[in-house]
Amino acid sequence: MTAQQDLQLFWFLPTHGEGRYLGTQKGGRAVTLAYLQQIAIAADSLGFHGVLIPTGKSCEDSWLTAAALISVTKQLRFLVAVRPGLQPPTLAARMASTLDRLSDGRLLVNVVTGGDPLENKGDGIFLDHSERYKVTKEFLAVYKKLIRGEEVDYQGEHIHVENAKLLFPPIQPSGPPLYFGGSSSEALTIAAEHIDTYLTWGEPLKEVAEKINNVQKQAELKGNKLEFGIRLHVIVRETEEEAIDAANKLISHLDDETIAQAQSIFARMDSTGQARMQALHQGSKDNLFIAPNLWAGIGLVRGGAGTALVGDPQQIVDRIQEYQALGITKFIFSGYPHLDEAHRFAELVMPLFSEQKGLALPTSGLNTGPFGETIGNDIRPKQTSAS
């Protein structure tokens, strides 16, 4: 592989449920603290840069989860959501500053506006799509100054603070880096002005390139140097045939009624990104490969990121490189089940990135390699190519 740009690989904590199959209790796993610890420790030891913790009423609280996992990890970063409109910016800044100090500077902040009007009303938010992004812009105007140590007086349409300040600063000098995703024009404008890393869900290269170019041009006009990330699932096996078979098994228990039920929930949302995800599969199991090795089956019943890279290790690397060529440096992956697939991805894919700039892979352990069980209690196994 030819080294391209710096690369950061993330994994995911399934605080909304976990299993071997989608849309069924068959093969489901209990998401306990012990299990989340196993995933976090695995991600930490395998060389992942960080983990994304999801947010929403279907998830365990992301801040409490991250706090519970700090002490069992060493280098792993935690990408945790702030929720404009649900949290005041002063409270969010205090929470972020505290968790950054407790983790010794391992916090990343994901700004989530929220796209389900029904869930929002349950949280006391009765604003439409446009108004929520106005709140987000005001929230960030206050939050960013606070986290940098400034005292803030602010009077906006939705947010009003006087003499707001942080007494205890974060570890990271300018505060934890801000991540943000969204596909609407309002979202792209906010990303261009306020955000450090713009995130997109996994779409075909052309669509991703259009979004990146759009927000990058706006960021340049604002004097903001953006980085870019992408959120994808991954199904990697030693051969492409095995990977496709694993993808089909993942949705093998989905029936039309379950898919229709999920799609009706997604249809009520006012998220542009969610609408783009639905358009990729149109609620049907037919023609789920929408681009080379890009499969839309997960989005049949999962909200948010609904696409996966499916293939053999070299195919996965090739697709990652294509996204890298668009300017993406941060890849947030997940796989079902998350503990098993973290190891599989690390074993099959990560070695192909051994010379990639910016990627810090583990170099030693109790068995310093070559890895594998000793043969006949006397001979270490031969080292073979990762592919």
Residue 380 lies in a domain: no
Q: Name the residue with higher pLDDT: 186 or 68.
A: 68
How much is the average pLDDT of 108-119? 87
Confidence band for 182, pLDDT divided at 50, 70 and 90: confident
Coil, strand or helix at 87: strand
Report the predicted TM-score, pTM, of the whole model to 2 decimal places: 0.92
- CA quadruple 351, 177, 203, 232: dihedral sign: positive
Q: What is the mean pLDDT of residues 132-141?
A: 94
Report pLDDT for 268: 83
Q: Is the pLDDT of residue 27 over 70?
A: yes
Of 267 and 108, the structure prediction assigns the larger pLDDT to 108
User: Does the pLDDT at position 28 exceed 70?
Assistant: yes
378 is a domain residue: no
Q: What is the pLDDT of residue 206?
A: 95
Mean pLDDT over 255-259 rounds to 89
Q: How many domains does the chain have?
A: 1
Position 380 scores a pLDDT of 74
Q: Is the pLDDT of residue 368 over 80?
A: no
Whether 28 is in a domain gets the answer yes
Instruction: Note whether residue 201 is domain-resident.
Output: yes
Exposed, middle or buried: residue 369 (CB in 10 Å: 0-12, 13-18, 19+)?
exposed
Q: Average model confidence (pLDDT) for the chain?
A: 90
Q: Residue 367 falls within a domain, yes or no? A: no
pLDDT of residue 370: 55
pLDDT tens-digit profile of 37-77? 999 999 999 999 999 999 988 899 999 999 999 999 999 99
Here the CATH number for the domain that contains residue 128 is 3.20.20.30
Residue 206 domain boundaries: 8-233+310-356
Residue 259 counted as domain residue: no
Q: What is the pLDDT of residue 272?
A: 81
Nearest CA-CA partner of 168 in 152, 147, 151, 153: 147
Per-residue pLDDT at 5 exceeds 70: no
Answer yes or no: is 154 within a domain. yes
pLDDT tens for residues 202-213? 999 999 999 999
Span 223-247, average pLDDT: 97
* Amino acid 31: pLDDT: 96
Spatial separation of the C-alpha atoms in residues 138 and 157, rounded to whole Å: 8
* Within-domain flag for 248: no
Q: Is the pLDDT of residue 3 over 70?
A: no
For the sheet with 294-295, list strands across it.
233-236, 308-311, 294-295, 289-291
**Backbone dihedral angles phi then psi of residue 212, each to the nearest 5 degrees:** -60, -45
Whether the pLDDT of residue 2 is over 50: the answer is no
